[in-house]
Structure 1
Amino acid sequence: MNFLEIGFNSKKAISVEMISVSTRLHVVLLPVAFLMAFARPGYPIAKKVSTLLGNKVLFSCPFDGNVTKMSWVFNSKLQIAALRCDLNEMALISNNSRIIIQNATCNTFKNEMNLQIESVQLADDGNYTCEILDQRGVHRLAFSFAVTVPPAISFSTDNKPNNTMMAICTASNGKPAAEITWYPNNLGNFSINITHHSNRTVTVQSKYHISIHHFSEEIICAVNHPAFDGIKNYTIHQNGPASYDSQLSPKILFLLYLIAGVLAACLCLLAVVAFTVRCFNLQIETAFRNCCISRSSQEMSQSNGPFIQMENFIYDSFQPQKPRN
């Protein structure tokens, strides 16, 4: 290999290495540029907030510096409230009595305008943005608010031809959609039907088709939802549905055991009392019989003595007397 071939191969290797380095830089710098673009004022990354239906929620909007105006906007269109720091004026544009503006202050060091919603409803679900205007431009703090609605759980069984049955578990009008799982899940096949309602709630219905020959004891419908504290289990027995919450079953079992223990203790106490009373009655009855028998025999012996003597006296008095010699 001559020097020309070595130089050509070196240049080629350097060119390939530069292309590889450039590709890696693009892979690394592109996400960074994307994050920097969305982190600029005017393109905030929304903070996710959620709460249960009927609860209250608070959105905090603090900002440092010389602020001219602060305002709250719902879904980028409806302005809820505005605070003019240059004019020291506060305007609540929304006529919703459940919306409260807290700690609306303007000064050079700290500016704050918190938005609180009392007793949240499904209509409150959406995006809330706090817009701050100062000498540097417009800054925004965004919140993506989701109202959580617990679903109503129902279940039933339906007998089908060919020795089959269908267990139905339904999580109605929940937000977001509930997750339904069957245990055991190898007894047949199941299907899921999801219905979206106009108020943004979702109904999830799961049908479990089971052969009666495989259905020996019970099956469990497990429902998972953000509104629940853990997973709730509902049991369907072979002779029909019977529900219980797996999180409450230990307490129920403890109460049942406690009641059974108290009843058993009461029955034992009653048995002991009855046995003691019976023994006491037997002792009294035996003592009474012995006392009465001894007294009656003594009375008879005492009463018969004078009677016999009197009878002998009378008999002797009427006997003819023998003549004296």
Structure 2
Amino acid sequence: MAQTWAVLAALLFLLINLVEGPAYNMVSVEAGHEAVLSCPYVSKVSLLMVTWKMKCSACCLLAYRSDHNETRKLNCSERMMWKYSPSSDPALRIYPVNLGDEGNYTCEIASSAGNFLFFSSLTVIVPPTVTLTCDERRVVVCQASAGKPAADISWIPASNHSTMEEVHHPNGTVTRVSYTGWVNSTLPTVTCLVTHPATNQTLSLDLSYTSPRLPYLLIGGSASVAAVSGVTLCLIFRCRAFRLRKSARGLAVPFATKNFRSTPSHEKTDAVKPPALSESIYQNYNPRMIYMGY
């Protein structure tokens, strides 16, 4: 009879384990916020030890022993700690959480009733950086950079000519870029809608201020400025050349006048001329007016 009850108890224990299995918890937290991983515990059962482990070779191990009232940390950063007192609620707190904390965690409880395992999966969400731009060809670009998971991009009004590009980064984030042409559209405003678990953003762009003729106007303005500058410089150099030629002519006349001397006769050597008459002769001298008579 005793053996029958033992076999029934073993079968019942096996059936409970097959039906219930270990507890499993999934937690999603935005980067920079607080992550709390719970470890269910019935306070009526005497607790001997609780241990938190992250599934990797050199990751954090956080343990508590009730008989020594002692806690230990191994390879754990200051961001990982007990949320409450481990003797009453051995929940794990991570603050602020980052992408490196993502993964699977195990909470193991040893008590007078036996050993219990609880599994948690932590997922870190990163909101993307959203931008909306337009080039000179009226191609509108909506970009959701470094998001995790990848953001969804849609257009208002809907466009059938949009294209999508996706770039995966080593840290697990994804950048998505959507292009759409708005050349033949009569609507002055285009709207980009970005949907993400961490944030939903709507950006609008007024296309009436983006004209494809703007580059040509800029080029025409630059050419006009260059032409005016060239004409101005040409006039300046021409005026300077004219002044230099005029100055050279003005200097040449006094030079020839002062160096000109007629050979006086011996009869008139001793004659003294009035100073005013001598100066007037040199001032009114012009080589072209000399008449040589024989």
- TM-score scaled by structure 2? 0.58
d(CA) in 1 for partners of 2:126, 2:116: 32
Alpha-carbon distance between aligned partners in 2 of 1:39 and 1:200, rounded to the nearest angstrom: 33
Instruction: Please give the residue correspondences for 1:101-250 in structure 2 after superposition, counting only pairs within 5 Å.
Output: 101-106=82-87, 111-134=88-111, 137-160=114-137, 165-186=138-159, 188-210=160-182, 212-228=183-199, 231-240=200-209
Q: Percent identity?
A: 29
Offset at residue 140 of structure 1 (A): 1.9
User: Which of 62, 67, 74 is equivalent to 1:93?
Assistant: 74
- How far apart are 1:138 and its partner, in Å? 3.4
Alpha carbons 2:168, 2:174 under 8 Å: kept: yes
**Contact 2:140/2:181, CA 8 A, preserved across alignment:** yes
SS at match of 2:89: strand
Deviation at 1:81, TM superposition (A): 0.5
CA distance in 2 between partners of 1:105 and 1:155 (Å)? 49
Q: Residue 240 and residue 125 in structure 1: after superposition, are their counterparts in 2 closer, same or farther (change >3 A)? A: farther
CA offset digits 1:8-61 (Å, max 9, x no partner): xxxxxxxxxxxxxxxxxxxxxxxxxxx9747313xx33x222222222222232
CA contact (8 A) 1:215 1:238 kept: no
> Partners of 1:184 and 1:208 in 2: how far apart?
11
Task: Give aligned pairs, total.
Answer: 193
Checking the alignment, whether the CA contact within 8 Å between 1:71 and 1:79 is kept in structure 2 is no
Distance in 2, Cα, partners of 1:185 & 1:128: 43
Determine the structure 2 residue equivalent to 1:74: 54
Distance in 2, Cα, partners of 1:238 & 1:125: 42
Which structure would you say has the larger RCO, counting Cα contacts within 8 Å and 6 or more residues apart? 2
* Change beyond 3 A, Cα 1:240–1:97: farther
CA shift for structure 1 position 76: 5.6
Measure the CA separation in 1 of the matches of 2:185 and 2:89: 64
Q: Which amino acid aligns with 1:140?
A: L
| Aligned AA (1:238) | L
Letter in 1 for 2:62: A
**TM-score after normalising by structure 1:** 0.53
Q: Which residue identity lines up with residue 39 of structure 2 in the other structure?
A: C
- 1:52 maps to which of 30, 34, 45: 30
Which residue of structure 2 lines up, in the alignment, with residue 306 of structure 1? none
Alpha-carbon distance in structure 2 between the residues aligned to 1:51 and 1:102:
16
Q: Would you say the 8 A contact 1:83–1:104 is kept in 2?
A: no
Change (3 A) 1:101 1:144: same
Q: In 1, Cα distance between the equivalents of 2:48 and 2:79?
A: 27
Write out aligned runs for 1:291-302 (5 A). Answer: none
Q: Distance in 1 between matches of 2:191 and 2:149?
A: 22
Shift, 1:145, TM fit: 1.5
Cα shift at 1:197: 0.8
Q: How does 1:244-323 map to 2 (within 5 A)?
A: none
- TM-superposed CA distance for 1:223, in Å, is 0.7
Which whole-Å CA distance do the structure 2 matches of 1:215 and 1:36 have between them? 66
Report the Cα offset of residue 79 of structure 1: 4.2
Aligned-partner residue type, residue 236 of structure 1: L
* CA distance in structure 2 between the aligned counterparts of 1:133 and 1:79, rounded to whole angstroms: 19
CA shift, 1:156, in A, is 1.6
Q: Is the 8 A contact 2:60 2:76 kept in 1?
A: no
Measure how far apart 1:88 and its partner are.
Answer: 3.5
Distance in 2, matches of 1:68 and 1:126, equals 27
- Cα distance 1:137–1:193, how it changes in 2: closer, same or farther (>3 A)? farther
Cα contact 2:62–2:76 (8 A) shared by 1? no
CA 1:154/1:68 → structure 2, altered by over 3 Å: closer, same or farther?
same
- 1:239 aligned counterpart, secondary structure: helix
- Tell me, in whole angstroms, the C-alpha distance in 2 between the residues paired with 1:74 and 1:56: 17
> Aligned in 2, Cα 1:205/1:39: closer, same or farther, shift over 3 Å?
farther
